[in-house]
Amino acid sequence: MKSRKIITAAALGVSLLLGYTACKPKNAGNAVSSDAAAKAYVAPGKYDEFYNFVSGGFSGQLSTYGLPSGRLLRVIPVFSVDPEKGWGYSEETKPMLNTSHGFVPWDDLHHTELSQTNGEIDGRWVFGNANNTPRVARIDLKTFRTAEIIELPNSAGNHSSPFITENTEYVVAGTRFSVPPDDKNGDVPINTYKQNFKGTISFISVGKEDGKMDIAFQIQCPGVNFDLSHAGKGKSHGWFFFSCYNTEQANTLLEVNASQRDKDFIMAVNWKKAEEYLKAGKGRKQAVKYAHNSYSDKTHSATSEIKTEVTVLDAKELQDICYFIPCPKSPHGCDVDPTGEYIVGSGKLAALIPVFSFDKIQKAIADKAYAGDYDGIPVIKYEAALYGEVQKPGLGPLHTEFDGKGNAYTTFFVSSEVVKWNIKDLKVLDRAPTFYSVGHLCIPGGDSKKPNAKYLIAYNKITKDRYLPTGPELAQSAQLYDISGDKMQLILDFPTIGEPHYAQAVSADLIKGNSLKFFKIDENQNTYVSKGEGTTKVVRTGNKVDVYMTCIRSHFSPDNIEGVKAGDEVYFHVTNLEQDWDVPHGFAIKGANAAELLIMPGETQTLKWVAEKPGMFPFYCTDFCSALHQEMQGYIRVSPAGSNVPLLFSTGKNYPVADTAGKK
C-alpha cells in the first residue's frame, strides 16, 4: 500500500517535472500520427517525388534533397570552396570565386529561387545569393553545377535576393547594409549614416536562352536595411516588393535602435517604369568594380571578368519608381500570393499579419493617398494600401508561402509554429508546432503562380533535443508536413547542411529527365585536354611543367614521371576518358597544398602542385572506380634543382635506369 503511494507521488513528481521542462509548444509524440512513416517512406531504389533545393546558409553551398524521404542527394558547391569536389581548388574553378576583393573562399547562401516562365517553375536554373560579399549565382540544373556568379557593386549584405520576376526577366538583389556608394569616399564617420549611406536595389537581367546574367540597372534608395523581396505576378507583374527595416537609420545597437518605430516599410518598385527611365537615358553611369564569372561546359573552365560600370537610377529624382507602404514592426518576409493581388508583410516583432492589396496600392498612387514622404519617396497611407490584417495569428511572423487554393501558410519564430490562414477572410484555419523556432518555409511552387501543395517544409533555427546530441554544435533541421488535407500533419524530421534559410521544391519530373550523364569527350575544348592516351605528354616551360594526363578504369597515363625538379610548378591536366554515367575519377598527390580533383567523364580538370623538395611523390585515384581501383596510381620523381635527370614520362613500360641518384 505504502509503496503504491510512493510510486504515485513519484509519478506525480515526474509529470510535474516534465510539465516544467517541456516548454516546447507541444509534446513531439502528440504531433506525429501513426501513418507518418508510410507517408515519408520512399522504398530503396525508388525515386523521390520532389527535388528540394535548400540554401546552405553559412556553409555557402546549396543542397539538394529528395522529398518526401528527406534524403540528401547532392551538395552543390556555390560560394564556398569544396575540397571534396575540387571546387575553388582546381585551376578551372578558381576564377568562379574571384571578386573585386580577390579570391573569396567562403560565403553565406540564404535564399534559393528556381527560374520561372509565365509564373511557373520551368526547371532550368536555380539561383542563390551570397550574403556577405554580395553576389548572385546561377546553377544549371542540367549539371547541378554553378554556371555563373555575378558580384554586386554599391552593396553590402545581399539579403533580399535572388528573387525573380515571372519570366525570369530579372533576378533582384537588395542591400541589407546601406553603405556609402562605391564611387564615394567610404572613409566617413559611421554616425553620418543619414547623410552618406544609401540603399541599393539591383536588377540583374537573365538571358532568355542562355541564362547569362548582367546588371541591367541599380536603383539608389534611402539608407535603410532591405530585407526580403518578391516579385509581383499576374496583374502585379511589372512590380517588385521589398521589405525594409531600420527606417530609424540607426548605425549602432540596431536590436534596440532599429525597433523604435511602430511601422517600417514595404517598398513597391515599378520596374517597368524603371526600364522606361533607363531607355530614356535617365540613368547615371557610375564607375564601380565588380566581378562576373562564368563556367563553360565546353572548355570546362571558368573565366572571371572585372567590370567597371553600372547604371544607377535615383529613386528620389525619378519620382514614380518607388513607393513606401508602412508595415508594422520590422518587416521580414514579403510574399505575394499566386494571383498577384495580395502582398503579405511579416513584422518580426508584430502580433498581426498585414495583407496589402495591389489594386488598392494602384488606386492610392493614382489618388496620391500619401501620408507624406520618407527621404523624398512617397509614403502611401497604411489604410489606403491595406486589404486587412490577420488578428492574433501567433508571435513573430517571418515568412509566408501559398497553396494556390486560397490559403497562406506563415511561420512564427517566437511561437514556433506554422499557421494556415485563408487569404480572403483572413481567418486562421490550422496551426502546427515546429521543433523549434522556424524560419523559412517552402511549399513546392509556393511563391509561384502554380503551387503544387502536397507538402510543406519548415526550416528550423533551433533543434535542441530533436536528434542525438553531438556536442555543442547540433544538427540543423527541416521538418516535412503533409498539407494535402485540411490539417497539417508532421511526417518527418531531416537534418540539413549548414543552416537552411529559404528553399524551393519542384516536381522531379520537371528536372530529372534533363540531367546530364557525362560530358562528350569530342566536345571538350579545354586548352589542356588529352583526347586519348596517344596525346598525353609532359612539357617543360622554364620551371613550369604541364602534365597532359588521361585516366580511365583503371590507370593514369602517364603514371611514371621523372625529371621534375624542386621548385617546379607542376600542373596536372587530367582528362577523364570515360564516356559513361557515374564514372568520375579522382586525382590526389602527396603534399598538395590544395585538394583533390574530381573529374567527371569527358572533363578535364587541373591541379597545381609545387614540387617543394626532392623525393618520390605518389598520386592515385580517390574515387573507387573498378575492381582495380586500388591499382590506379603513379609516381612523380622530384630531383634537386639543377639536376640533369631527363624529363621522362610513360605508362606500362620501364625505361632503362639512366640515373639512380638524381645527381646534379
Partner 1 sequence: MKKLAIVLSIVAFISACGGAGTDKKGADPYDSKSTTANGNPSYDPNRGEGKFTKVDVGATLDATLAATGEKVYGVKCSSCHKLTEEKLVGPGWKGVTSRHSGVWIMNFITNTDEMLNKDPKAQAQLEICLVRMPNQNLSDDDARALYEFQRKNDGVK
- Can you give the binding site for partner 1, defined by CB under 8 A? 45, 518, 520-522, 531-535, 550, 552-555, 557, 577-580, 583, 626-628, 652
Instruction: Name the minimum Å distance from CB 40 to partner 1.
Output: 22
Q: Please list the alpha-helical segments (H only) found in 390-492.
A: none
Q: Which of 249, 239, 301 is nearest to 274 (CA)?
A: 239
For residues 162 and 174, is the Cβ–Cβ distance under 8 A? Answer: no
Using alpha carbons only, give the angle 260, 383, 413 rounded to the nearest 5 degrees. 50
Helices first, then strands: H and E counts in the chain:
8, 44
Contacts of 594 (CB under 8 A, 6+ apart): 83, 89, 607, 608, 609
Least distance between partner 1 and beta carbon 602 (Å): 9
Q: Among all chains, which residue has been given the C-alpha cell 554599391? A: 154
564 vs 625, which CB is nearer to partner 1? 625
Listed in sequence order, the residues at least 6 apart from 485 whose beta carbon sits closer than 8 Å to its beta carbon are: none
Alpha helices in 209-288 (DSSP H): 254-257, 271-279
Nearer to partner 1, 319 or 554 (CB): 554
Torsion of CA 478, 479, 484, 487, to 10 degrees: -140
Burial classification of residue 618, based on how many CB atoms lie within 10 Å of its CB (0-12 exposed, 13-18 middle, 19 or more buried): exposed
Q: How far is the CB of 327 from partner 1 (least distance, A)?
A: 54
For partner 1, give the closer residue by CB, 14 or 628. 628
Q: How far is the CB of 578 from partner 1 (least distance, A)?
A: 6
CB of 601 to partner 1, least distance (A): 9
- Give the position of cell 518580426: 348
Residue 650 beta carbon to partner 1: minimum distance, rounded to whole angstroms: 13
Q: Which is nearer to partner 1, 181 or 558 (CB)?
A: 558
| Closer residue to partner 1 (CB): 45 or 281 | 45
Closer to partner 1 at the Cβ: 496 or 605? 605
Q: How many CB atoms lie within 10 A of CB 567?
A: 14
Q: Tell the smallest beta-carbon distance from residue 649 to partner 1 (Å).
A: 15
Q: How far apart are CA 66 and CA 371, in angstroms?
A: 48
User: Which residue lies nearer to partner 1 by CB, 317 or 580?
Assistant: 580
Q: Considering the complex, what minimum distance in angstroms separates the CB of residue 46 from partner 1?
A: 10
| 288 alpha carbon, distance to own chain's centre | 25
Contact (Cβ atoms closer than 8 angstroms) between residue 352 and residue 328: yes
In whole angstroms, the minimum distance from the beta carbon of 520 to partner 1 comes to: 8
Instruction: Give the shortest CB-549-to-partner 1 separation in angstroms.
Output: 11
Cα–Cα distance, 409 to 457 (Å, whole number): 11
Amino acid at 285: K
Q: CA 541 to CA 550: how far, in whole Å?
A: 20
Residue 182: partners with Cβ closer than 8 Å, 6 or more residues away: 153, 154, 286, 288, 289
Beta carbon nearer to partner 1, 117 or 626: 626
Q: How far apart are CA 5 and CA 259, in angstroms?
A: 54
Q: How far is the CB of 628 from partner 1 (least distance, A)?
A: 6
Q: Rank residues 477 and 605 by Cβ distance to partner 1 and give the closer one.
A: 605
Report the residue number, 360 or 555, with the smaller CB distance to partner 1: 555
Residues 6+ apart with CB under 8 A from 18: none
Q: What's the min distance (Å) between Cβ of 91 and partner 1? A: 23
Complex with partner 1: residue 281 or 534, whichever CB lies closer = 534
Nearer to partner 1, 231 or 632 (CB): 632
Choose between 453 and 577: whose C-beta lies nearer to partner 1.
577
Are 557 and 547 within 8 A, CB to CB? no
Buried b (16+ CB within 10 A) or exposed e, 636-658: bbbbeeebebeebbeeeeeeeee
Q: Which is nearer to partner 1, 192 or 535 (CB)?
A: 535
Q: How far apart are CA 458 and CA 480, in angstroms?
A: 7
DSSP codes, 469-509: -BTBS--EEEEEEE-SSSS-EEEEEEEESS----EEEEEGG
CB of 619: closest distance to partner 1 in angstroms? 17
Residue 551 CB, shortest distance to partner 1, in Å, is 8
Residue (94 or 585) nearer to partner 1, CB: 585
Nearer to partner 1, 488 or 577 (CB): 577
Instruction: Determine the 3-state secondary structure of 351 from DSSP.
Output: coil
Minimum CB distance to partner 1, residue 121 (Å): 30
Q: Which long-range contacts (CB under 8 A, 24 or more apart) does 28-34 make?
A: 28/435, 28/466, 31/432, 31/433, 31/490, 32/490, 32/491, 33/489
> What minimum distance in Å lies between the beta carbon of 589 and partner 1?
20
The torsion defined by the Cα of 11, 16, 19 and 20, in degrees rounded to 10, comes to -140
